[in-house]
Amino acid sequence: MDNYVPRLKKVYKDTVAPELVKEFGYTTPMQVPVVKKIVVSMGVGEALTNKKLLDAAVADLTQITGQHAVKTKAKKSIANFKLREGNEVGAMVTLRGTMMYEFMDRLINVALPRVKDFRGIKSTGFDGHGNFSLGITEQIIFPE
């Protein structure tokens, strides 16, 4: 299992990266962009009144990503939402390495095709600094 390479990483390294070098005229393969990490997060608005929902969200994220999720806390107090700084309001997982490539492979090839009326990923998800954001309303698209 030590020499296992995720399928998506192998495709990127063998096919995509050389094409990017040709297309953009990079002088070295080290200039080719790479994915460093994937952060999967979930906000649970009703977590203030029902703590079991937050535990369920942590369990769902853990099952979807294959890595234990951590609870996130509110950074600021917001009176309109009856939210205090430090309240637990969501969950998140940071994926790197093999787990990241496996999750991205499942997202692209299994989960996104199961979305109703899926028309591709919008380019407005890019922020101009190399980051991409994607919102999914239902986690039912993941087979896990």
**How do beta strands 38-43 and 88-95 pair?**
antiparallel
Q: Is 1 in the same domain as 43? A: no
The model's confidence at residue 57, banded by pLDDT at 50, 70 and 90, is: confident
How long, in residues, is the chain? 144
Domain limits for position 97: 39-116
Distance CA 9, CA 98 (A): 8
* Residue 60 pLDDT exceeds 60: yes
Residue 60: φ, ψ to 5°: -65, -50
What predicted TM-score, i.e. pTM, was given to this entire model?
0.82
Q: Is 18 in the same domain as 44? A: no
The model's confidence at residue 68, banded by pLDDT at 50, 70 and 90, is: very high
In a domain, 22, yes or no: yes
In a domain, 140, yes or no: no
What is the pLDDT at residue 83? 67
Please give the mean pLDDT across all residues of the chain.
86
In a domain, 122, yes or no: no
Calculate mean pLDDT across residues 101-130.
Answer: 87
32 with 20: CB under 8 angstroms?
yes
Q: Is 23 in the same domain as 47? A: no
What is the pLDDT at residue 111? 87
Kindly report the CATH number assigned to the domain that includes residue 52. 3.30.1440.10
